[in-house]
Structure 1
Amino acid sequence: MARTAAALHILVKHKEQAEDIIKQLKKGVKFDVLAKKHSSCPSGKKGGSLGEFKKGQMVPQFDKVCFTGELITPHLVKTKFGWHVIKVLYRT
């Protein structure tokens, strides 16, 4: 069972914007470019990088994707903060 994960994310207010970001990622636009341009989270300045974090450190919906979702594939998740596009890099 993974105890830590590393992820990138982009936080936006609207689902439509998050879905558009996923479309752009699928077309080959770099994650860090989109994070710097669109993310309302301070991590956006670092290309969306959240670094490595422990299981249970993030809000439940976010945590679930980070520890059970497919790696590298962009995921769309709604939390109390807004809509996240999450890219899980690895788990340990």
Structure 2
Amino acid sequence: MARAAHALHILVKHKTLAEDILTQLNKGAKFQTLAKKYSTCPSGKKGGDLGEFKKGQMVVQFDKFVFSGEILTPTIVKTKFGYHIIKTLYRT
């Protein structure tokens, strides 16, 4: 079982914006560009890059997706902070 992962994310307040961003990604937009433009998280300045982190470091819903969801497929996950578009790069 994976103990660490590396992910990118874009955090927004509204589901409609998250869905719009996901549509843009699916049409070929660059994740990093959209993160810089839309993300309310400080990581947005780095293209949404959260670096590598350990299991249990993120809020439950985020953690659950990163450690069990699809790799490299941007997906919307809701947490107490808002709507995240998460792209898991790898798990180790």
> Where on the TM-score scale, by shorter chain, does this alignment land: which range?
over 0.9
The alignment covers a number of residue pairs equal to 92
Instruction: Mark the runs of 5 or more structure 1 residues left unpaired by the alignment.
Output: none
Q: CA separation in 2, counterparts of 1:75 and 1:59? A: 16
CA deviation map 1:6-43 (0-9, x unaligned): 00000000000000000000000000000000000000
Aligned identity (percent) is 74
TM-score of the two chains, using structure 2 as the length reference: 0.99
Q: CA separation in 2, counterparts of 1:30 and 1:75? A: 15
Q: CA separation in 1, counterparts of 2:82 and 2:63? A: 15
Q: Which residue of 2 aligns with 1:79?
A: 79
Tell me which stretches of 4 or more aligned residues in structure 1 moved more than 3 Å: none
Q: CA separation in 2, counterparts of 1:64 and 1:75? A: 12
Instruction: Mark the runs of 5 or more structure 2 residues left unpaired by the alignment.
Output: none
Q: CA separation in 2, counterparts of 1:24 and 1:5? A: 25
Q: CA separation in 2, counterparts of 1:81 and 1:64? A: 15
